[in-house]
A and B are shown apart, each in its own frame.
Chain A
Amino acid sequence: MPQPILTIKKLTKIYGNNVIFRDIDLTVAEGDTIVIIGPSGTGKSTLLRCINLLTHPDGGEIWLDADEITAKGANEDLVRQHIGMVFQNFLLFNHLTALDNVKLGLTKVKHMNDKAAEAKAFEELKRVGLSDRAHHYPGQLSGGQQQRVAIARALAMDPRIMLFDEPTSALDPELIGEVLEVMRDLSKSGMTMLVVTHEMGFAREVADRIVFMEKGNIVEEGSPDDLFYRPKFERTREFLWKITELYGKKENADGPSAAEDTESNQPAAEENA
């Protein structure tokens, strides 16, 4: 078996007396898209933030390729270059145009010269379909466009893996599709992705594996079909049913295969009814 890109061993995060998650194990192989689902307050976002060291775990190890990034003395700024992060609230640099948002890391972190950085930044914007918005400021872009710029900004660093923290949760429903489309393309292009989302349509279509987390534990993980049709735990079934009802319709409303999706998006409907 090839070396996984990301290996998480017995990861634990505690705030005060509050255990966010305990002894999480997870591996992500090259080219995989893993979707993490679960109720809010389950530690999914904190898990992502631990992975790119924006917060520090209280126990366990994280390995990126063959390096333990949680080891003492690891160069955290270097680690973060290799791990792209997309936030729920986009977090673009508000004082910079779309192009300069993507360019900043290239010139300041990768020390590319201005011309090369600009060309690369422009390419990345093109990849997310925003080359015509290159000179707009974040305040002049829609939420969906801002999130796509944020994806381009992370991609520009040529990361080994991309982390998405509920990338569509802050978007108006009609803007979710364009962001998911970019993510879908990215997944198909072979990018390794770890996605926290409630978008079940996306999870079913794109995920190689779905991880169901609750109360700081991984309850169950497996292929989309396994989790939707043959969940091992009743709790998984309940959650998937609830979340599909809540979010599934929204995405299907403007999708071309709405009819088909509506049917297949409701796992175990009969049993629950």
Chain B
Amino acid sequence: MRAGILLFPGINRERDMVLAVRQSFGTEPRIVWHKETDLTGLDLVIIPGGFSFGDYLRCGAMAAQSPVMRAVRDHAERGGYVLGVCNGFQILTETGLLPGALLRNAGLRFLSMDTMLKVERNDTVFTAKYAKGEVFRAPMAHGDGNYTADEATLDRLEGEGLVAFRYHDENRNGSARAIAGVYSPNLRVLGLMPHPEDLVDPLMGGTDGKPLFDSLAAA
């Protein structure tokens, strides 16, 4: 699997993502500047976390208008894989590649701590190396992770099995139905708020996030 990592001005977790991909894939990901438009040869497009364009408008709203996102949309339409983490998840909802929106955290404060995520299904390219119902640890670090959608959309997501992860210990940011991550209908686009890429090395406190990247590497 050939991976590319998108770089928008203000993205700041691309280095973490490079390390996680390098470790599981055994190859170097391509860094894609947001003004590029050619994603040819990439199987997986990753949008990492950070504060694209400072998040001065709605989080992810500016990045969604960058030239590269048209190419990402085409990539997704062709059935390509897309992973968006944190700001990357916000960019995917702003682009319309995933439903819903991420609002300010319920307590109106930035939240940086480990959270426990429950794997809703393990028959996707992202979660094959986890067990169904497995609970794993992932650091979160965001001010706007409060997942929201209208009731009909939430019902549809649940009904179609498109909820990827739920907060298992505590729903600190106030997300609807404790949703931490969602899939596109074809299960090839995943967005989530916490950072599995920051827990892939025992030295940093654990490897709970590694199976996600191992799953992709094996796909």
Q: Do A and B bind each other?
A: no
Residues of B within 8 A of A (CB): none
